[in-house]
Amino acid sequence: MKHFKTLLFAAVLFIGATSFTSAQSNVAHINKQELIKAMPAYTQAQTEIEKLRQTYQATFQSSLKELDVKLKQYDSEAETQTEQTNMDRMTEVEGIKQSLGEYQQQAQKDLQEKEFNLLKPIVEKADNAIKAVAKAQGIQYVVDSAMLIVADGKDLMAEVKKQLGM
């Protein structure tokens, strides 16, 4: 009976170790951010976003220069104008400043939305490639190696890049 318990215990340990080993082989990792940045579509999206950012920045800078010219003109003419005119001009300048602030906020919102819309299909393509490679290799779990402290296991980067034609 004691011999049977020892055999049973050894069998359970063997099965557990085998299951643990096979479970480990079903886990792989990939640095998803690195993969996405390596994709040609990502570079194109970043170029498009940067062009839009520069357009908004140029418009904003132009408006600031116009405001600066107007402020200098109003300051130089202030002594020759009536108090009511100066008050009206001050109100106008405050309105322009507020409009510029609103423009800047809207531009930032538009840029974020554009970036999201451009990057979403790129991220989905990367996800689908990762899933396809994992499925083809019988891998059940893929974790992002950017968040791992130790990543000595299977790295799918090369296979996923190949799947994406990179």
pLDDT the model gives residue 156: 86
Return the residue matching tokens 């839009």: 52
Mean pLDDT of 2-21: 49
Instruction: For residues 138 and 25, give the distance between their C-alpha atoms in angstroms, rounded to a whole number.
Output: 9
CATH number for the domain harbouring residue 101? 3.30.910.20
C-alpha angle 151-155-156 in degrees, rounded to nearest 5:
145
pLDDT digits (tens, 9 = 90+) for 35-75: 999 999 999 999 999 999 999 999 999 999 999 999 999 99
Q: How confident is the model at residue 15 (pLDDT cuts 50, 70, 90)?
A: low
> Which residues lie closer than 8 Å to 118 by C-beta, 6 or more apart?
45, 48, 49
Please state the separation of Cα 58 from the chain's center in Å.
24
Please count the structural domains in the chain. 1
In the predicted structure, residue 1 carries a pLDDT above the cut 80? no
Instruction: Report the C-alpha dihedral over residues 70, 76, 77, 82, rounded to 10 degrees.
Output: 100
Domain residues for the domain of 121 are: 1-164
Are residues 134 and 156 in contact, defined by beta-carbon separation less than 8 angstroms? yes
pLDDT digits (tens, 9 = 90+) for 96-127: 999 999 999 999 999 999 999 999 999 999 99
